[in-house]
Chains A and B, each alone.
Chain A
Amino acid sequence: MPLEVDGKTFETDEEGYLANLNDWQPELADAMAEADGAELGENHWEVINFLRSYYEEYQIAPAVRVLTKAIGKKLGKDKGNSKYLYELFPYGPAKQACKYAGLPKPTGCV
């Protein structure tokens, strides 16, 4: 199911994850969120940007704990926990946020 944004078509996998990491652009994240009935605010973007920079360095999404710690540092300690991340991304920070950030879906027993 390809994704169409600004007249351009982007290839995705069966679950809507971007097929090619390099295709990513911020508008895609907005479009994916819209399709899920959500709107991305500043705090969503903090998470998405962190995911992308972590991925660039390590070629993998960060562990949930690494993510919560980083977000806690950026947005305040009260937000550095999974509960807050689940408020932002109800389908799970590891999966939904990765999708919006254009990262592949984490696999395994997670």
Chain B
Amino acid sequence: MAAAEFETPKIREYPIIPHLQEGVMAHSKPFVAKPDFQEKLGYPGELVDNWKEVAIEKMGELTGKYRSLQVFLDSCVKCGACTDKCHYYLGTTDPKNMPVARQDLFRKVYRRYYTLPGKLFPKLVGAEDLTEEVLDDWYSYFHQCSQCRRCSVYCPYGIDTAEISMAAREIMDAVGKGQKYCNEIIGKVHVIGNNLGLPEPALADTLEGLEEDVEEETGVQVRFPLDVKGADVLVVTPSADFFAEPHIDGLIGYAKVFHQAGISWTLSSYASEAANFGMFIGSYENMRKLALRIREAALDLGVKRIVFGECGHAWRVAYSFLNTLAGPFDFLDPSYPVPQHICEVTHGLIQEGRLTLDPSKNDDMVITYHDSCNVARASRMGDRPGGQFEIPREILRTVCNHYVDMPSYSIKEGTYCCGGGGGLLTDDLIELRVKGALPRMEALKNVVDDYGVTHMAAMCAICKSQFSKVFPYYDFEMDQIVSLHQLVSNAIVLQPEGKEESDENSPGEGQEQAEAA
């Protein structure tokens, strides 16, 4: 826990493409997973002797299995459109953090072993042997990609660096060189059900404490139900929502929304995690195993709907892959999206006039909103294009009187990653996290100076933890990051004599239809 031995980048008035400093981040490497963590996920405990053969074979398997990956490797024309789009490049100035250069760490090996010109004339086509140095570079720079996909928005071919990073990490896992942070966590979910390793009694105790707190504060008994069979809605949320700040204030917001709308809901101690780090390491098997816990919990509890809490990549997995990973979900009520996002629920209820909100409760703040990369660029919300941008903003404008957007290049599909996504939210990568946050910090500073913005809302557990950690490096206060549903929670006016929710009786189905929108 020694003090940081690096310099925090200076905030500039507007983004400037930095001068290159070759190799300046070559030292940045996360801790390697211990044999125990590796083996639990079905990977070799440490680097295998014939790692080179295993890696090349795995690469062939992946390019054969995922056509997209092969297309991405074959189609880059080195136009350079992506070079200045990566927050890690902008923050670190290391040229290997340019998306095209990062991809090329993989592509050069692919060319050497899987293309004819690369086999015959490697030097002419930029093909290279897989060596220990190359593997070292992979370990370093594929853990300097948060798989945020900003570069792919600007690529004329739509090449997705995230997918290449995932493949590289999967190959490294296959040869026994996995990353500690992700793999330890995935192992915990397989056994305990969540990233934190929070067992059921501790979860129950925490939720009970929240019921007391909310009652003390509002005079209303708002429930935080756990493992309630027959509830209508199963809420799956990142375990950080039970543990960290400001996450927990968001969880309180969900509970108040369900309470006021009279929707019966429950959390599950078996599926007590929305996050799915299996995606970060590119492992379909682990991703599927984690997703199946949610299916099992939904079946076991007999719920009609599944709603996801504020977690960025969880929503990508849920929205884009849940049905193929763990479906079919024909046992759920088809009049609601499967799955549904908590913001869709809240937004629908606002449209129907079923929430009593007093936005003046947030008058002490001027709010801006950070689009989380996986929500912005890898999923959607609601029934119209761009719903993932508009629905959160419409909620914010309803619950806050003072809302301002950050500069247009830094929001919506152009949003900058918080700097800690994609399985990099670990202390051993703090230098990378601080530097990678620079573009977002500059955009935030812009609205702080020009419009008096005091707080930034987010709806991703990683973003929230990352910002509360890196804000002080840029002279912001750690509590300037807030949960979206924390603001809903502040604004919602609860009536002490209002009807209490019931676990057995669901409100009229017809009433709830519009929520599905």
Which residues of A come within 8 Å of B, CB atoms?
14-16, 36, 57-60, 62-66, 69, 82-83, 86, 91-92, 94-96, 99, 106-110
- The answer to the question of B425 belonging to the interface, with a C-beta cut-off of 8 Å to chain A, is yes
- B209 near A109 with CB under 8 A, answer no
Bound CA–CA A62/B248 (angstroms)? 13
The verdict on A106 contacting B428 (CB below 8 Å), with A14-B31, A63-B206, A63-B242 known, is no
- B248 near A64 with CB under 8 A, answer yes
The verdict on A99 contacting B1 (CB below 8 Å), with A108-B240, A110-B465 known, is yes
Q: Which of B157-214 contact A (CB under 8 A)?
A: 180-181, 184-185, 188, 194-199, 201-202, 205-206, 209-210, 213
For residue B383, give the distance in angstroms from its CB to the closest CB of chain A: 29
- The answer to the question of B66 belonging to the interface, with a C-beta cut-off of 8 Å to chain A, is no
- The answer to the question of B275 belonging to the interface, with a C-beta cut-off of 8 Å to chain A, is yes
Bound CA–CA A57/B199 (angstroms)? 11
5 residue pairs, one from A and one from B, having the closest CB atoms: A108-B195, A109-B461, A58-B202, A109-B240, A110-B244
- A106 near B248 with CB under 8 A, answer no
* Cβ-closest chain B residue relative to A60: B202
Residues of A within 8 A of B1 (CB): 15-16, 36, 91, 96, 99
* Cβ-closest chain B residue relative to A64: B245
Residues of A within 8 A of B31 (CB): 14
- A64 near B243 with CB under 8 A, answer yes
The verdict on A109 contacting B202 (CB below 8 Å), with A64-B245, A82-B245 known, is no
Question: CB within 8 A of B185: which of A57, A65, A86, A107?
Answer: A107
Render B44-79 as a binary contact track against A, CB cut-off 8 A, 1 for contact: 000000000000000000000000000000000000
Bound CA–CA A109/B461 (angstroms)? 6
Bound CA–CA A16/B245 (angstroms)? 24
A62-B202, A64-B244 known, 13 other contacts, Cβ within 8 Å: A14-B180, A60-B198, A60-B199, A60-B202, A62-B206, A86-B478, A95-B427, A107-B184, A107-B185, A109-B275, A109-B461, A109-B462, A110-B461
Q: Which of B4-23 contact A (CB under 8 A)?
A: none
Bound CA–CA A60/B198 (angstroms)? 6
Render B424-435 as a binary contact track against A, CB cut-off 8 A, 1 for contact: 010110000000
- The answer to the question of B238 belonging to the interface, with a C-beta cut-off of 8 Å to chain A, is yes
- B213 near A65 with CB under 8 A, answer yes
Which residues of B come within 8 Å of A, CB atoms?
1-2, 31, 180-181, 184-185, 188, 194-199, 201-202, 205-206, 209-210, 213, 238-240, 242-245, 247-248, 275, 311, 425, 427-428, 461-462, 464-465, 469, 478-479
For residue B73, give the distance in angstroms from its CB to the closest CB of chain A: 31
- A108 near B194 with CB under 8 A, answer yes
Bound CA–CA A19/B401 (angstroms)? 50
- B202 near A106 with CB under 8 A, answer no
* Cβ-closest chain B residue relative to A110: B244
Residues of B within 8 A of A83 (CB): 479
Residues of A within 8 A of B210 (CB): 65
The verdict on A59 contacting B461 (CB below 8 Å), with A65-B209, A109-B240 known, is no
- B196 near A108 with CB under 8 A, answer yes
Bound CA–CA A62/B245 (angstroms)? 13
For residue B252, give the distance in angstroms from its CB to the closest CB of chain A: 10
- B199 near A65 with CB under 8 A, answer no
Bound CA–CA A57/B205 (angstroms)? 11
Residues of B within 8 A of A60 (CB): 196-199, 202
Bound CA–CA A93/B205 (angstroms)? 20
Residues of A within 8 A of B205 (CB): 58, 66
- A66 near B209 with CB under 8 A, answer yes
The verdict on A58 contacting B461 (CB below 8 Å), with A64-B245, A66-B205, A69-B209 known, is no
- B245 near A108 with CB under 8 A, answer no
The verdict on A14 contacting B428 (CB below 8 Å), with A82-B245, A109-B240, A110-B240 known, is yes
